[in-house]
Amino acid sequence: MLVLLFLLTGTGWAQQVYMNGNLRTGTSTSNGVAAPAGYFASELQPGNGSVGLGANLNATLSVADDFIVPAGEIWNISTVTFYAYSTGYAGTAAPFDTVFVKIYNTD
């Protein structure tokens, strides 16, 4: 019985509880060019210098986000997913090799 209860409720533990945003901007570009079937466009809109937020540890630029764990809930963070790009990068290896994550409790 205990195993059955675990199997029935186990998938609930894997649910995403927080998402800051989405990289997709649609199935076509702002000038109407369609993305290939099954894919989405993600593009820099006119007047912007970067998609999303910029960060550079050497320049002491970091990205922060605040979120609140609702009263009575306990969150166990098992994964954190990052998406990054480097404008104009033409290399074959990823230009990123390190990500720093800090979670503060401000109670």
Which residue segment(s) compose the domain that 95 sits in? 47-107
What integer pLDDT is reported at residue 6 of this predicted model? 40
Whether residue 72 is predicted with pLDDT greater than 90 in this model: the reply is yes
Residue 29, domain member (yes or no): no
Confidence band for 7, pLDDT divided at 50, 70 and 90: very low
Whether residue 5 is predicted with pLDDT greater than 80 in this model: the reply is no
Higher per-residue pLDDT: 6 or 88:
88
Residue 65, domain member (yes or no): yes
- At 80-106, the pLDDT tens digits run 887 777 777 788 888 888 888 888 887
Confidence band for 18, pLDDT divided at 50, 70 and 90: low
Residue 19, domain member (yes or no): no
Neighbours of 95 (CB within 10 A): 10
Residue 10, domain member (yes or no): no
Whether residue 56 is predicted with pLDDT greater than 80 in this model: the reply is no
Residue 2, domain member (yes or no): no
This prediction has a pTM of 0.45
Residue 3, domain member (yes or no): no
What integer pLDDT is reported at residue 94 of this predicted model? 82
Residue 76, domain member (yes or no): yes
Phi (first) and psi of residue 28, to 5 degrees: -145, 160
Tell me if 39 sits within 8 A of 26, measured CB to CB.
no
Q: How many domains does the chain have?
A: 1
Any idea which residue has 């029935």 for tokens? Answer: 8
Residue 12, domain member (yes or no): no
